[in-house]
Amino acid sequence: MKKILITGGAGFIGAHVVRLFVNQYPEYQIFNLDALTYAGNLENLKDIENAPNYTFLKGDITDENFIHQSFENHKFTDVIHLAAESHVDRSIDDPLAFAKTNILGTMILLNAFKSLWGTSWASHRFYHVSTDEVYGTLGEDGLFLETTPYDPNSPYSASKASSDHFVRAYGETYGLPYVISNCSNNYGPHQFPEKLIPLFINNILEKKQLPVYGDGNYTRDWLYVIDHARAIDMVFHRGENHETYNIGGFNEWKNIDLVKELCKQMDQKMGQKQGTSEHLITFVKDRPGHDLRYAIDASKIENNLGWSPSVTFEEGLSITIDWYLNNTSWLDHVRNGSYKNYIKNN
Smallest CA-to-CA distance from 278 within 253, 261, 301, 297 is with 261
Q: φ and ψ at 319, to 5 degrees?
A: -60, -40
DSSP code string of 244-273: EEEE--S-EEEHHHHHHHHHHHHHHHHTPP
- Annotated catalytic residue within 54, 156, 224, 294: 156
Residue 279 CA to residue 252 CA, distance in Å, equals: 24
Q: Is 156 a catalytic residue?
A: yes
Catalytic pick from 133, 164, 221, 233?
133
**Residues 6 or more apart from 298 whose CB is under 8 A from it?**
246, 247, 248, 249, 250, 307
* Active site annotation includes 132: yes
Catalytic residue among 34, 60, 132, 164: 132
CA distance 130 to 247: 10
The angle at the Cα of 74, spanning 177 to 46, to the nearest 5 degrees, equals: 100
Closest CA to 313 of 215, 227, 192: 227
Q: Is 139 helix (H, G, I), strand (E, B) or coil?
A: coil
d(CA 346, CA 42): 9
Q: Is 22 exposed, middle or buried (0-12, 13-18, 19+ CB in 10 A)?
A: buried
Report which secondary-structure segment, H or E, holds 16.
helix 12-24
Please list, in sequence order, all residues whose beta carbon lies within 8 angstroms of the beta carbon of residue 248, skipping any fewer than 6 positions away: 132, 144, 183, 184, 221, 223, 295, 296, 297, 298
Q: Which strands form 219-224's sheet, in the order they lie side by side?
A: 185-187, 219-224, 252-254
Residues involved in catalysis: 132-133, 156
